[in-house]
Amino acid sequence: MLVISKPPSNNGVLLRFIIAWVAAVAWPAALFGAPARSAPAASERATHIVTIENMTFSPAILRVQPGDTVIFENHDLVPHTATAREKGKFDSGLIKAGESWSLTLPSAGSFPYSCSFHPTMSGELVVENAVPSKASPALRGK
């Protein structure tokens, strides 16, 4: 009896190589998975500026996300404060002319504030879990 065999093929070797490569690349992702995202990473958090000038806070209403930083910059010649109307939420203390004060609000809510020295000066920080995509770039910080 005559047995004729084909020469060995490299297709099996190539297939095993491809399977091994895919497994080596995919197993870490399958094993460890993607990290859960409950809060924005520090690098995704924005910084926003509230300018104190001509006896006003500008912008008067600022929409931010939890964890964003808000910096109050005093460009007036007199001192001011940024004090939440709800006692205990936040109080900048004295912000002298040319100085600034920063605040990070970790959770959603609406925070009206005013200047303790000049009660007609007022503003509001609105902390939202998701800022609407229609928001202008000025509302999302610098």
What domains sit in the chain, N to C, each tagged with a CATH number? 45-131 (2.60.40.420)
- Whether 43 and 67 have beta carbons less than 8 Å apart is answered as no
- Rounded to an integer, the average pLDDT of 74-101 is 98
The pLDDT tens digits of the residues spanning 8-47 come to 556 666 656 666 655 655 555 544 554 444 455 555 789 9
Has 48 been labeled as part of a binding site? Answer: no
- Tell which residue, 92, 91, 83, has the closest CA to residue 122: 83
- Give the C-alpha separation, 121 to 37, whole Å: 38
- Whether 121 and 114 have beta carbons less than 8 Å apart is answered as yes
- Tell which residue, 101, 123, 119, 121, has the closest CA to residue 111: 123
**Per the confidence metrics, is the pTM higher than 0.85?**
no
Predicted pLDDT of residue 44: 76
Phi, psi values for residue 14, rounded to 5°: -65, -45
Has 80 been labeled as part of a binding site? Answer: yes
Pick the more confident residue, 57 or 133: 57
Residue 74 has what DSSP assignment?
Answer: E
